[in-house]
Amino acid sequence: MKKVGLLCGREYSFPPAFIVRVNQLGKPDGVAAEFVKLGGTRMNEPAEYSVIVDRISHEVEYYRGYLKHAVLQGTYVINNPFWWTADDKFFNYSVAAKLGIAIPKTVLLPQKGYPSDVDITSESLHNLNYPVDWDALLDYVGRPAILKPFSGGGWKHVYKVSNKEELLAAYDKTSPYCMTLQEFIDFTGYVRCFTFGKNDITPVRYDPKERRYLIEHEYLSKDLGTRIVKDAQTINQALGYEMNTIEFAIKDEIPYAIDFLNPAPDMERDRITEFYFEHVVEKMAKLVIDRALHGNVANTWPRWEEMLGFGAASGFTAAPKTASRQVTASSSNPSSATAQFDRSGAKIR
Ligand SMILES: Nc1ncnc2c1ncn2[C@@H]1O[C@H](COP(=O)(O)OP(=O)(O)O)[C@@H](O)[C@H]1O
Ligand SMILES: [Mg+2]
């Protein structure tokens, strides 16, 4: 019997439907689902679950710690808790831009303030240039612009600003968060893509004003739909996410990726429509059954380094190869031509 565990918060419709569906569809293969139950985690406690779906560890630190431990014991966690901890939107934008995805110009800003329990004085901050040249930053992203957190969600602290005065008034309210300043995309269309695994992408028309999913299967032209699916696949492969929503704002037929750090996306029936709820429950159930039977934990890690061409060369596993390549390349030098390395990397002769 392979067990799938669900870790979730106050959601009311997705969790029970998901568990029932996994139990139905997984029965022939001996896969069953239940809510994860925790009450103190011992070191090296064996993995009880083949797969865990995590929808809440961003709000409960103990869960995040438990999930890292579960990975170490061999559990396939969706999404990878190590990477989720490390990730942020500014990094996401920068990686995606390098991978050829349309991204609004974005600036990472020094924080307005710091948590009250952190002892920061002006001496602590001598690496920061002061004052910030707000005019130059606004010239770069253009006016109007969007000010929003580099991590976070739920439209909290998202401001549209038209000039420096509005920018500073909004910025003054953002302590202790780290913020980004971003080019405003005056979009004529907007889609949110559900993603199940890295390649199975469902783009859905979305109305950001009403914050509503809309059912309109012909919303995207063939070319635009193809590009959006491809871009969403690239993003998930680069960042390792298997349960995500990826948002695109469309302007002049170009899909700008706006928000793709949604590793616990909204999956509640009332908000995603009955139609997409059914779809999401079915796809998520099939995803976890597949991962329980065939999942390789390595698949949960991001691959941006590899995709940008510098990961494998600098990664641990490639280190000995790099060393031997260097030896060959400089073989005209007799001392290095014969050099060998022991397993710790030390030169042994
Ligand atoms: N660069 C932008 N141009 C136009 N609208 C934006 C931009 N960034 C964000 N928005 C609007 O603000 C909303 C919330 O921003 P988003 O980046 O999705 O943050 P959150 O993680 O809080 O959802 C988006 O759904 C979109 O409607
Ligand atoms: Mg969003």
Pick out the chain residues at pLDDT < 50.
313-315, 318-320, 322-349
In the chain, domain spans = 2-86, 105-183, 189-260, 296-349
223, 174 Cβ separation under 8 angstroms: no
Ligand 1 close to Cβ of residue 102 (< 6 A): no
Q: Which fold has domain 2-86?
A: Rossmann fold (3.40.50)
Tell me which fold the domain 105-183 belongs to. Dna Ligase; domain 1 (3.30.1490)
Q: What angle do CA 173, 177, 181 make, to 5 degrees?
A: 80
Q: According to the model, what pLDDT value does residue 312 have? A: 59
> Measured from the CB, is residue 157 less than 6 Å from ligand 1?
no
pLDDT of residue 317: 52
What's the CA-to-centroid distance between 258 and ligand 1, angstroms?
Answer: 6
Q: How far apart are CA 247 and CA 255, in angstroms?
A: 9
Alpha carbons 4 and 160: distance in angstroms, whole number: 42
Q: What is the pTM of this model?
A: 0.89
pLDDT at residue 309, as a whole number: 87
- Among 151, 154, 157, 148, which Cα is nearest to 182's? 148
153 CB within 6 A, ligand 1: yes
Q: For 189-260, which CATH class?
A: alpha beta
Q: Per-residue pLDDT tens for 244-267? A: 999 999 999 999 999 999 999 999
How much is the pLDDT for 221? 96
pLDDT at residue 255, rounded to an integer: 98
